[in-house]
Amino acid sequence: MNPDMENKYLRRIYEHMLEGIIVMKESREIVMINPAAVRMTGWKVGGYVDYCSYCKTRELKEGEPTCYLIANKEVPTFLSEMPTYHGKTIDVEMSTAAIYMNEDTGETEYLLVLRNHELHKRAREAAINKKMIRALIEAKEEEHKRLAHELHDGVGQSLFSVSVALQAIESFVHDNKQLNEYIVEVRKELQKVMDDINSYSHRLRPHSLDQLGLEPTIRHLIELIHKQVPGIDIELTTEGIDRSDPAVEINLYRITQEALHNVIKYAKATKVDINLLRDKTHIYLTIKDNGIGFARDKIQNEGLGLKHMEERVDQLGGTCKILSEIGRGTSIDIVIPRWRPEI
């Protein structure tokens, strides 16, 4: 590579890297400092690098330099608090290396690298929070699955047995008109309870999701809504949809379920278009309605349903854009990998 071009690249790297880079004399006078280090410390060329909190308080051996990193040249990194020009301290990860010996003065010049440990700690905390949210979501879905199974195969089957027994009793009392009518009414009430349990079981965890996949389950959800909420047209368009990671399927279903719930409860929409597309690497979900729209900053509790959608998408390593305008409806655009990432 051309030396001038190489120097140009190195200069750009020096100016744009996130780590603070300082070249200082043995006297700690600053010879060079990059923008990241200036932002972290407020120091400038010609100023002096202060000693960190550890170096100020540690016990020194006779003739040992105050700076722990200079005194122990084999230490690759070191964590401490560094005083800044602003009078504050920051948690930093530091490393140093002797890079130049000034033959005229006999003074060694050192490269000091500073990494803002606060940013690292915040990133680590965010990763821990993300794992906790994923664990909570998975535990919730497992509990939903268990309850749905118990309702459908336990309570549902018991009620069906009671219904069959009533039907048998009905055949013996057909001559007693009053008792027969009463049994018919009981059977009707029992059927309503069985239908409700089946509906609750489906809301908790649709059996079709595990057996058939995402597309048939969303279509079934739309059919239920059409029966229960007349006057709203929901159209689903799909392309390339096949089985995916079970966690991806259940989260996309929950997002669709929550979005349609919001449309029915708040949007006053008459038309909803759902587009579900999959290519080799990603799944794309768009839900758009022609409702009254909303201003998100005016929603109480920041719109917990929307927040839960965004959390689910974040767990899947995807992106979620929620766009709404008063009087012009709402659009939710989601893009996620076909297989959820490891955290």
**Structural domain includes residue 290:** yes
For residue 136, what are the contacts with CB-CB under 8 A and spacing of at least 6?
A: none
**Structural domain includes residue 271:** yes
| Neighbour-count burial of 196, counting CB atoms closer than 10 A to its CB (0-12 exposed, 13-18 middle, 19+ buried) | exposed
Which residues in 14-40 are b (16+ Cβ under 10 Å) and which e? eeeeeebbbbbbbebebeebbebbeeb
Query: Do 111 and 95 meet the contact criterion of CB atoms below 8 Å apart?
Result: no
| Domain containing residue 215 | 210-343
Domain boundary among 116, 134, 157: 116
Q: Into how many domains does the chain fold?
A: 2
Q: Which residue has the tokens 């809301």?
A: 203
**Structural domain includes residue 134:** no
The CATH number assigned to the domain holding 331 equals 3.30.565.10
Contacts made by residues 127-131, CB under 8 angstroms, sequence distance 24+: 127/343, 130/314, 130/315, 130/343, 131/343
Domain boundary among 116, 151, 186: 116
Domain boundary among 96, 116, 136: 116
This prediction's pTM: 0.54
**Structural domain includes residue 267:** yes
| pLDDT per position as a tens digit, 264-310 | 888 889 999 999 999 988 999 999 999 999 887 766 654 567 888 89
For residue 332, list its beta bridge partners. Answer: 287, 322
Report the share of the chain in percent with pLDDT over 70: 83
pLDDT of residue 129: 74
For residue 273, list its beta bridge partners. Answer: 235, 288
The CATH number assigned to the domain holding 24 equals 3.30.450.20
**Structural domain includes residue 331:** yes
**Structural domain includes residue 18:** yes
> Whole-angstrom Cα distance, residue 35 to residue 43?
10
CA distances 61 to 58, 64, 66, 67, 71, Å, are 10, 5, 9, 12, 10
User: In a 3-state reduction of DSSP, which class is residue 186?
Assistant: helix
| pLDDT per position as a tens digit, 103-140 | 777 788 888 888 887 766 776 777 777 777 777 767 77
**Structural domain includes residue 192:** no
> Whole-angstrom Cα distance, residue 230 to residue 24?
75
pLDDT of residue 339: 76
- Does 214 lie in the same domain as 112? no
pLDDT of residue 323: 92
pLDDT of residue 342: 60
pLDDT of residue 284: 95
**Structural domain includes residue 165:** no
- Does 226 lie in the same domain as 106? no
pLDDT < 70 stretches in the chain? 1, 73-76, 85-86, 119-120, 123, 137, 141, 143-157, 159-160, 174, 197-204, 298-304, 340-343
**Residue 201 corresponds to which tokens in the numbers above?**
């079981």
